[in-house]
Amino acid sequence: MRASEIRALFAVASRPEVVSLAGGMPYLEGLPLDVIGEMAQRVIATRGTTALQYGSGQGDETLREQILEVMRLERIEAHPDDVVVTTGSQQALDLVTRLFINPGDVVVAEAPSYVGALGVFRAYQADVVHVPLDQDGLVPEALEDALTALAREGRRVKFLYTVPNFHNPAGVSLSAARRPQILEIARRHGVLVLEDNPYGLLGFEGEPLPALRSLDEDGVIYLGSFSKTFAPGYRVGWAVAPHAIREKLVLASESAILCPSNASQLAISAYLATCDWRGQIKAFRELYRERRDAMVGALAEHLPRATWTVPDGGFYTWVRLPEGLDAKAMLPRAVTARVAYVPGTAFYADGQGSDHMRLSFCFPTPERIREGVRRLAGVISSESELVDLFGVAPGDGGTSIESPSPDLA
């Protein structure tokens, strides 16, 4: 099966008849839309000539100060000058990659890794080397081995890309004990760390773990976002970078987009100033925890032959299919059964992952999640029968990176 065939199949997933466990859209019905509406109106009415005007390439200064407050929850101490506001953290990812990567340079990333980052790395012709993760996140010994091997081969490793909290797609977090170890290894090998942290505040229990950036100011570029904790439609994210890099990020951003949207920044700034955003995040955490429970419960009930990660936060669980099944080859059957997921191959740059799928629990209600997993069980059972019948092993996923578009539920 070819890659764009996969993407075409996702077209069906937006229909209400289909239970989509494929998307990554936050559940915005949890937001007080009336309050946010009034706030947006007030921003335009009182500060319209600023909100609708060009702004600073680095981003609105007040918002940058407020971002410090958000980051303090993960123990990051920074100065507003260190923050660059971007059009979603995805733009920051693009800018960092543009600054650092020449064709053939190596980016080290987790196995699996966020598909949207792999797409950016691919666009700049980086060579992605995957390093395994386990229940406690990226494995330090494996990172050490990979960096040593790459150095021996004379390869230029530009940065380590990592999603330390509630990983997309793996659902795991880098343990507190491993955080300093990973930083020490990267530092010793002269490799910058790109910490992508959209989900850090969406943990289901306990306090957020300290960000990697809180442990190392000079060796880490930190990416944050309001897309998961508030609303992705505003497209506001940010980067925190060491001084020399930050200046270049601002110039690169200006040449790409001139400046991030002032209207969006002022709206978010007003939201942070006047609404109980901490309470909102808490409400989201509870909502997503209930959905995680529904997902994990349904998996245990319906898919006894599969294994999966139990995330402590975020949006996703990572499911290993019963032996012999290929998630990509199975997708048409799932679509026929009115359920959608993302085949694991999307999350690797090298064709691995056909034995996994990513299931998201952020958007569908608990009831729909249970129904989706029930349908998936039927799909897996039929596909298992087929694979046993013909005795084939899962295929190589190819090297194209395909995932649903961001507006898929």
Which positions lie near another protein, rule CB under 8 A? Answer: 1-5, 7-9, 11-12, 15-18, 329-333, 335-336, 338, 383, 385-387, 389-392, 395
If phi > 0 it is left, if psi is from -120 to 50 it is alpha, else beta; for residue 192 that is beta
DSSP secondary structure, 151-179, as one string? HHTT--EEEEEE--SS-TTT-----TTHH
The CB-of-327 to another protein minimum distance in angstroms stands at: 11
The CB-of-66 to another protein minimum distance in angstroms stands at: 41
| CA-atom Rg of the chain in angstroms | 21
Q: Which is nearer to another protein, 12 or 215 (CB)?
A: 12
The CB-of-24 to another protein minimum distance in angstroms stands at: 19
The CB-of-245 to another protein minimum distance in angstroms stands at: 36
The CB-of-2 to another protein minimum distance in angstroms stands at: 4
Contact 284, 49 (CB under 8 A): no
Q: Which is nearer to another protein, 82 or 326 (CB)?
A: 326
The CB-of-306 to another protein minimum distance in angstroms stands at: 18
**What tokens appear for 129 in the block?**
């080397």
The CB-of-44 to another protein minimum distance in angstroms stands at: 33
Q: Which is nearer to another protein, 48 or 395 (CB)?
A: 395
The set of residues, in sequence order, having a beta carbon less than 8 Å from that of 385 and lying 6+ positions away, is none
3-state secondary structure of 240: strand
Contact 198, 162 (CB under 8 A): no
Contact 180, 211 (CB under 8 A): no
Q: Which is nearer to another protein, 147 or 334 (CB)?
A: 334
- Letter string b/e over residues 272-286, b meaning 16 or more CB atoms within 10 A of that residue's CB: beebebeebbeebbe
224 burial class (0-12, 13-18, 19+ CB within 10 angstroms)?
A: buried
d(CA 364, CA 19): 7
The CB-of-110 to another protein minimum distance in angstroms stands at: 28
Q: Which is nearer to another protein, 270 or 340 (CB)?
A: 340
Q: Which is nearer to another protein, 340 or 369 (CB)?
A: 340
Q: Which is nearer to another protein, 203 or 404 (CB)?
A: 404
3-state secondary structure of 135: coil
Q: Which is nearer to another protein, 18 or 106 (CB)?
A: 18
Q: DSSP code of 108?
A: E
Q: Which is nearer to another protein, 367 or 388 (CB)?
A: 388
Where helices occur in 73-192 by DSSP H, the ranges are: 88-100, 115-123, 140-152, 178-188
The residue among 228, 281, 268, 274 whose CA lies nearest residue 73 is: 281
The CB-of-307 to another protein minimum distance in angstroms stands at: 23
The CB-of-362 to another protein minimum distance in angstroms stands at: 23
Cα 150 from chain centroid? Answer: 26
Contact 239, 87 (CB under 8 A): no
Q: Which is nearer to another protein, 38 or 388 (CB)?
A: 388
The residue among 276, 275, 258, 278 whose CA lies nearest residue 267 is: 275
